[in-house]
A = this chain, B = another copy of it.
Amino acid sequence: MTEKQQNILNSALRLFATEGVDSTSTSKIAKHAGVSEGLIFRHFTNKEGLLQAILENGREKSDAYFHSVMQVKDPKERLLMTLHLPFVIPSDEYDFWRLFYTLKWQRGPMEHEGMNLFRNSMKEAFEELGYTNPSAEAQLVEALIDGVATEVLLKEIYPKPLLDCILEKYKLK
């Protein structure tokens, strides 16, 4: 992976995330990356290939997240960490997550294996905690995380009070 190759990846992610994949032209990416347009195609075959390379990158990072949460054995602790997720997104990953959420609406669910494992581990946590409907609870947590992550990624928010409200709902406070 040369420096220019990395530049292309970075620029494309930034532009895809902020302006959308379809309205970002390859020439714009090239200019932003300080690179010739042709180079993009040399390295990534086509625009779709570039997008896939970016997604592959991000998937690895996000799986690391999920993995670290799933390793926690205590269900209460695991739920707690899960609810924290939207608030601990590293700011240098904001672009990726913006892109991720955008694509959900255009290219279907963006599912990958790591996410299914995670979903299941949430369900198990609720089972162990004796909740009445663990799988609905897991679905709710997922929706909640997505909603809160959206607020975090798109608006200025004050994390502390919001987090407090959430934890109180799950009697973790």
A interface vs B, CB < 8 Å?
A: 19-20, 22-23, 98, 101-102, 104-106, 108-109, 133, 135-137, 139-140, 142-148, 150-151, 154-155, 157-158, 161-162, 164-166, 169-170
Contact = CB atoms under 8 A, between A and B. Distances in A.
A147 to B, nearest CB: 3
B142 A144 contact: no
B20 A109 contact: no
Contacts of A154: 104-105, 108-109
Copy tally for this chain in the complex stands at 2
Interface SS of chain A: helix
B140 A162 contact: yes
A153 to B, nearest CB: 9
Contacts of A169: 169-170
Contact of A101 (B105, B142, B145, B164): B105
Contact of A164 (B102, B133, B151): B133
13 contacts: A20-B105, A104-B150, A109-B154, A133-B165, A135-B161, A136-B158, A136-B162, A137-B165, A139-B151, A140-B148, A140-B166, A147-B148, A169-B169
State the 6 A-B residue pairs at the shortest beta-carbon distance, nearest first: A147-B147, A22-B22, A143-B147, A136-B161, A102-B105, A169-B169
